[in-house]
Structures are given as C-alpha cells and as structure tokens.
Structure 1
Amino acid sequence: MRIASKLAIAWRDDERRPQAIRIKSLSSGLWSRLMAIFSSSSSEPSGTGTRAWILHGLVLGSAVAAAAAGGYAALRRFGKFRSRAVGIIPARFNSSRFQGKPLVPILGKPMIQRTWERAKLASTLDHVVVATDDEKIAECCRGFGADVIMTSESCQNGTERCYEALQKLKRNYDIVVNIQGDEPLIEPEIIDGVVQVLQRTPDAVFGTAVTSLKPEDGPDPNRVKCIVDKFGYAIYFSRGLIPYNKSGKVNPQFPYLLHLGIQSYDSKFLRIYPQLPPTPLQLEEDLEQLKVLENGYKMKVIKVQHDAHGVDTPEDVEKIETLMRQRNIL
C-alpha cells in the first residue's frame, strides 16, 4: 500500500505544477472516492485486502497512462513526433487510361518533372524521390536531377509502390507522402498540410486532402468524392456522387468534396498496409484508401483550396496547360 500511496501523492502534486505535462483520466469526484476507499482499505487485514490490490492497480495504471501521455506530449513539445518526412512520387508507364502518362509533355517539360519540381518546394519534406518500374521514366527523371528508386512491376497501386521504395531508402522516416505523379500543379502547401496533420493527430495513420467539388464533376467517376465526420476523419470515398439524395441529381447547394490524390502515411502503418488483404469496397470502387477504412484505421482529412486536378486522360493536358499559362507557370 505504501507504493500506491506514494504514486497517488506524486500524481496529485504533479497536478499543482503549472508547467507540468500531465493528464487526468479520472474526474476529481471519482478520484476522491477512490482515495477514500483506498485509505480505508489500508486498515483491513492482509487477507481481506482485495480492494486495496484492485485500487493499487488502478493507481499504477493511471500513473503509467499519465507517463505515456506525458512522453507523447514531450515529443510534441520538442518537435520529435513524426518529425522526418519523405515525399515519394510513384510513376508507372502502363496505365489503362493514359499510356506513358508520366512522360507526356506539359508546356515543354515531362509531367513527372513538373510534379517533382512542385514537391521540392514543400518545406516539410526532408527528401523527394521518384519510385518507378519503368527504365524510360527512370532515365528521364535522372536527367533532370531526381533521385530514383526502381520498384517491381507487381505493385498493385501507388501505396504499395511507396512501401517498396521506403524499404530501399537508406534513412529512416516517420512520415511518407504519396505524391501523385499526375498532379503537375500540386501546391507545396498541400504537401505540407498532409504532413502536419499526421504530426498533430496521433490516432490517425493516414492523411489526405480534399477540395470543393464542382457540380459539373459530380457524375464523373474519375473525380473521387469523399465524406468526412464532424471531426475531420474520413467516412467514405466513392467514384459515385456521395452523399446521394433522393432526387438522384447533383444538389448545387451542397458542399460536395473532391478527393485529391495526395496521401500521407505513418511509416509504421505503411509497413503493415501490404499485408492487409484486399477488401470488398476497395475492389468494387477500385480505391486503395478504402482498404484502410475497412480495416478500422483512422484517416484525417484536410480541406484546401485547389482549383486544378490531376491528369487522368489526354484531354486533361490542355486544361492543365491553360491553367499554367494563366498562373504564369512556365
């Protein structure tokens, strides 16, 4: 009982320190009642001290929880929580919708170069690499100065390609950002945003971004839609319009959300992801992020202003080039 009492006193004293990192998992009223029972149990014979041992465990468990929370808070305080981030740009030549897409010229430069140059402007990334299974893409990227990691052709999606690239990196990273190679106008601030959201949200292992969906893009299956809860965690992604109303028509007054391709992962989770079997919703929608949600992991979503979109079809190239001319990005 002496150890438990000391723990209780230490925790109580810690609450009085103005600069202490602390957590209180019990209400003050319940805590007082527990302490009263705890004190009375000390006078019981050793053979009837069951309550004392239970309370000993409660106090010890609470102290451990406080220490763990304090450790996390200390990491946050000194900037060491998920501090190192790498940006990986997955790129493959064979695409069902647009063959050779990473190498298509965008105002005179390969699209993969445009994306890489934008990613290099992000302040939160310690390193940026291109991950590809195609030697033509690799040669092109090395030509403009990018670091390249060769990955296998068996990767089913960009997340698996990021995982394989992570295994081959010489340094350890806490956060991996999957930067879609077909986003030549991705803002560096969005990249920084999906890094910072994981640094601020310890229960999330996956971060991503959305922007407002234009009503005319509602029926387009190439524009992935997203719905979130009131705390900013993802509920669902779909190629169809979500939410869907009874009229079956796009409601121009509703704030639909368009999913942007960029994704960030806790590196420990990324090592688990390939081991998770495909899930029904993931396969039906052909959206890899649904496997994360179906397995019960939390995904934090940030909303940003972003009026461009990725290059999904050859027709999108002209739209992107028009936007670049308007913004004087040459």
Structure 2
Amino acid sequence: MSASQETKKVIGVIPARFGSQRLPGKPLLPIKGKPLIQHTWENARKAKNLSALIIATDDERIKKAAEEFGALVVMTPEECPTGSDRIAWVSKHTPLFHDAEIIVNIQGDEPDINPAVIEDCVDALIEHPDASLATAVVKIHSREEAESLSVVKCVRDAHGYALYFSRALIPHSKNGCYCPDTDYFKHIGIYAYKKPFLDLYPYLPKTPLQLSEDLEQLRVLETGHKIITILTEHDSLGIDTEQDLRRKVERTT
C-alpha cells in the first residue's frame, strides 16, 4: 500500500434492514450459531484499509444483536429507500464520517465477502481519480448463472470502467443466445464511494434505466458518473432466498 493510500480515512458500512420481502428478518437468521450479519461483519473487519466499520440499521432488533457481538451501530430513518441512501444519511449525520474520504458499502447479506475485495475496491478508487465509485465483478463460468435474472451482469470497457449493468444476458450476441466463447461478468454488490459523490447521491434523480432494471448503480452511469470495476476471483454468495440460506448452511457445517 502506498503512502498516499495510508493517509486515506476509509469507513466501511454494512446497511441492514429487517423487512426483507423475500426473506424477512434476514440479517438475524442463524448460520452456525451466529446471525448472518455477524459473518459479514467478521469478514469485512479483516480488510486492512478500513479505518472503521459500522452497521447502519433502522431496526432495534438488529442494533441489539450487532452490539452484542461488538459492532458499532448507527440508527437510520426507516424511509431510506436504498442501501446507498441509508449510507449517505449516516455519512451526513455522523461525526465519525466528516473527515472520511472513502466510504464502502458492504452488503449485509453476503456473509462470505472476502476482505481482499474490499481492499482492492478502495485501491482502485484511489488509483482512478476520475471515478466516483468502485465495485467488483467476477467471471461467470456457467450458462445457468449467465442467463439467470437474479444474477446482475456487467459489461466493461478496455480500462475496466463499467459500461452497463443488467439482469439480462449481456453482452448479448446477435443470435440472442448464450455464447460459451464470450466473457460474462457477475456484479458483486460492493461499492466504494468518494465521499463528495456519496453526499451528492441522494439528490440525483431516479433514472429510466435504474427504474427499468431496478439497479441503483445505473443511476450513477445515467447521470454521467464513472464506475471503475475490479476483476476478482473471490465470488460471494448473496443470501436472498430460503434456498440460498440452506446452501450457505450446508457449506458452513
């Protein structure tokens, strides 16, 4: 890590809601005797370039559980529409964040997040001054995953900047079919923001592509901001359904 990187104040935030539509109470669901969000927190806190790590929630049950395993918790309003909006609220209203330069959004439902992915996203954002945020992608190795609407895909330019994100199969061949010779990339839901952009984010209008795909990162691209991506080998299983939870429990036990 360079000297310039060492001076950056970087704060990780894990946003957590109790009211998941597909899996209610998801952050507190037990995996090997610990709530799901504790697994995420324990892995994230191993990232060497985080100055601090907090959990942002609007639910007292999550707050109580998180404080019991040692996490720093900030309570947020219920009306924050997205994880990014929740983190932006924390950044604006919490003194700890006022001199932060980079803030990392770490998905609470990805208990297998590798700390190296957090570190690499932060480094990429520092190394690309024209980017407003950084995120991660991993190569897709199966047709099933490439064609799944629950897997968000990303296409990138030659320098690693994101061109587009979609639930559809992208890039899309001219015959409309999966092509085994094409590189497909899965988006991993982690974002490292430069603080000035995060402060601006809640004021950006929702955009047509964001609403069509239901992907908040498209608001960033549609409003002319750049997203740099890092290609990682560390995939992360998001827990969105009962089936995902069973798979995680089976792999852990």
TM-score range, shorter chain: over 0.9
Give SS of 1:278's match: coil
- 4+ residue runs over 4 A deviation: none
Q: TM-score when scaled to structure 2?
A: 0.94
Structure 2 letter corresponding to 1:300: I
Alignment pair present for 1:291 and 2:216: no
Match of 1:130 in 2: 55
C-alpha deviation, 1:247, in angstroms: 2.9
Q: Percentage identity across aligned positions?
A: 45
Match of 1:258 in 2: 186
C-alpha deviation, 1:78, in angstroms: 4.8
1:82–1:199 contact (8 Å) kept in structure 2: no
Cα distance in 1, alignment partners of residues 205 and 70 from structure 2:
37
Alignment pair present for 1:90 and 2:18: no
Match of 1:201 in 2: 128
Cα pair distance change 1:121/1:191, threshold 3 Å: same
Residue of structure 2 aligned with 1:312, choices 240, 248, 252: 240
**Offset from partner CA, 1:158-216 (integer Å, 9 cap, x none):** 10011011123323210000000011000000000111111111110110000012321
Bigger proportion of residues as helix: 1
Alignment pair present for 1:221 and 2:149: yes
Where in structure 2 are there 5+ consecutive unaligned residues?
none
Match of 1:189 in 2: 116
Cα pair distance change 1:184/1:276, threshold 3 Å: same
Structure 1 letter corresponding to 2:120: G
2:6–2:49 contact (8 Å) kept in structure 1: no
Cα distance in 1, alignment partners of residues 63 and 168 from structure 2:
35
Higher relative CO (Cα under 8 Å, sequence separation at least 6) belongs to: 2
Structure 1 letter corresponding to 2:113: I
Where in structure 1 are there 5+ consecutive unaligned residues?
1-75, 326-330
Cα distance in 2, alignment partners of residues 123 and 81 from structure 1:
10
Cα distance in 1, alignment partners of residues 175 and 34 from structure 2:
45
How much is the aligned-residue C-alpha RMSD, in angstroms? 1.6
2:188–2:236 contact (8 Å) kept in structure 1: no
Q: How many residues align?
A: 250
Give SS of 2:211's match: helix
Give SS of 1:264's match: strand
Q: TM-score when scaled to structure 1?
A: 0.73
Residue of structure 1 aligned with 2:89, choices 164, 167, 185: 164
Cα distance in 2, alignment partners of residues 314 and 141 from structure 1:
22
Residue of structure 1 aligned with 2:206, choices 266, 278, 297: 278
